[in-house]
Structures are given as structure tokens and as C-alpha cells.
Amino acid sequence: MCATCGCGDEGATITAMWGHRPLAGDARAKDGQPQSGHEHPHTHTHDHDHDHDHDHSHQNPPTETIPLEQKVLAKNDMLAEHNRRWLVDRGILAFNMTSSPGAGKTTLLERTIRNLGSQHRVSVIEGDQETLLDADRITAAGARAVQVNTGAGCHLDAEMIERALHALEPDTGSLLFIENVGNLVCPALFDLGEYSKVVVISVTEGTDKPLKYPHMFAAAGLVLINKIDLLPYVDFDLDLCARHARSVNPGVEIMPVSATKGDGMDLWLQWINARANELDATATQV
């Protein structure tokens, strides 16, 4: 159970898309119903009148508030740092791709994989609550993929990524894209060990997205505004959206793209190559 958002992540399954067995059973939440915490039935009744004047000084045992969110995030951060070292040691450049559902992350990755061609070897960790649909699309585009099904969970965490990395075994010196579960809330809090977070929004979602989800945009290294081919048909202000994003993250880079038409993809690929050069330079200094 995720103490930050309340989602259940114990049912996560990981499936490698080139014939490996799933690494865990297909466990799922039993009924999806919230547990009240009261295991005894409330069959007793309070049928006496409360018109009497005696003081109700019922003594309750002392309670202690445990900062569960901090503990969950602290454990995640420790595992994320382990993932980061694992990736850096192998020269693997990892991007955590986040968005709300339907922003076009998978379509963007399909075109990215095809456009990169022989420039980089690419692997993908696909995060969804159910199905292998996106991982199938990624492998069809030419990249190796591992599917992480989170069950009731609404985000990937560092432990899931650690297991997925060992299933996937990305090539040394390659690119790794982590397509997170469609959600702009919890993925902002969970470091996976990535080099950078990339937030994908689309022009069909509304100009004010950065203001509504400031934590995600504050954590981003790049914001891709997708589906710009639809700008003539929707009410979306590119400049205003960029100003909103920079109001919560002054240094963030912003690129308008169309994953279906290809607009802006050259700049996106240049950004990837620049990050790869940065990683190489860092490794050389070490």
C-alpha cells in the first residue's frame, strides 16, 4: 500500500517482452474496497439518554502519529539512488516519461524509437495498471521492452524499476525510457533513479495544467507540449502554458511537438543527444 496516495502496489507484475516468464504472480487486490480498520462488528447500541450531567472522561490510550509518507519516500529514495548508480555505472541514460492519460506518451516513444534509428540502442520500461498493449507497440517500433503492471497502483516506484532493470538488462551505453503510469500527481514524488523527468502534456488538456499540477512541473527537466497539429481546433495558448510552467519551474525547457505529424521531433532528439553528451562528459570526469 502506498502511504502517499493510498494506492495498492503489492499486485505489480513485470513481464519481459522477449519470452521471459513474469517475475511475479498476477496478484491483484481482492475486492478493491477500502478497509475500515474496525475488525469487530458494531452490534452494541448506545440506547441510554445523554441528558445526565456526568462528565464523559473516557480515557483513550495515548496515540502516536507516524509519518508514513516520509518513511515510504525515504525508502523509495534509497532504492532510487541504487538504481541511479546502477544506470550510471553502465552509461545508461534514463528518462522518466510522465503525463496524464491520453497525452500521447506511447505514440511519442514509437516515433522517437524509429527516428533515433541506429544512433542509440533503446529499451523501454512500460508502466500501466493492466494489459501489455503499450509494450507490444514499443517492441513493434523496434525497442526491447518490459511491461510493469501495477494493478491498483497509480505510479511506478524505485523497487519496481529495480526489478524491471534486472529483467530488461539494458545495453551498456544505451537509452532507457520509463513510461510511467498516466498520472500527474504521485509520479512527481517518486524518484526512480532517472537522469531527468520529461512531462508530456497535450493541447487538448488545457493551458492551465502546470498550475493545477505544480509538483510535477517543478520536477521536470523538460516539458513536451504534444499534439500541436490540433492547435487550430482547440482553445489552447502555447505561450501562456509556457509561462505557467516557468512560474513553477523557471529553468524548465519547453518544446511543442506533434508525435503523429513529426513537428518538433528534431529538437526533441537534439535534446536527448545533448543529455547523452552530458552523461558521457560526467563519466569521463569521474
Q: Is 89 helix (H, G, I), strand (E, B) or coil?
A: helix
Sheet holding 13-16, edge to edge: 13-16, 144-149, 122-128, 175-179, 93-99, 196-202, 222-226, 253-256
Question: For the segment 157-189, what is each residue's pLDDT rounded down to a tens digit?
Answer: 999 999 999 999 999 999 999 999 999 999 999
Q: What mean pLDDT do residues 13-35 have?
A: 44
Please tell me the distance from the alpha carbon of residue 46 to that of residue 50, in angstroms, as a whole number.
Answer: 10
State the residue for C-alpha cell 524499476. 161
Write down the pLDDT at residue 153: 85
Does residue 23 belong to any structural domain of this protein? no
Does residue 100 belong to any structural domain of this protein? yes
Please tell me the distance from the alpha carbon of residue 132 to that of residue 22, in angstroms, as a whole number.
Answer: 12
Write down the pLDDT at residue 18: 55
pTM for the structure as a whole:
0.79
Instruction: Name which of 13-22, 35-44, 255-264 the model is least confident about.
Output: 35-44
Please tell me the distance from the alpha carbon of residue 41 to that of residue 20, in angstroms, as a whole number.
Answer: 46
Most confidently predicted of 53-57, 198-202, 274-278: 198-202
State the residue for C-alpha cell 544505451. 174
Q: What mean pLDDT do residues 34-56 have?
A: 46
Which pLDDT band holds residue 67 (cuts at 50, 70, 90)? low
What single-letter amino acid sits at 160? Answer: M
| Count of structural domains, the chain | 1
Does residue 141 belong to any structural domain of this protein? yes
Write down the pLDDT at residue 166: 95
Does residue 242 belong to any structural domain of this protein? yes
Instruction: Round the average pLDDT of the chain to a whole number and report it.
Output: 84
State the residue for C-alpha cell 498550475. 211
Write down the pLDDT at residue 281: 77
Does residue 40 belong to any structural domain of this protein? no
Question: For the segment 88-112, what is each residue's pLDDT rounded down to a tens digit?
Answer: 999 999 999 999 999 999 999 999 9
Given a cut of 50, is residue 242 above it in pLDDT? yes
Given a cut of 90, is residue 193 above it in pLDDT? yes
Does residue 16 belong to any structural domain of this protein? no
Burial 98-109 (b: 16+ CB within 10 A, else e): bbbeebbbbbbb
Given a cut of 80, is residue 262 above it in pLDDT? yes
Write down the pLDDT at residue 13: 75
Q: Are 269 and 116 in contact (CB under 8 A)?
A: yes
Q: 76 is in which domain, residue-wise?
A: 70-285
Write down the pLDDT at residue 244: 98
- Any idea what the CATH number is for the domain that residue 83 is in? 3.40.50.300
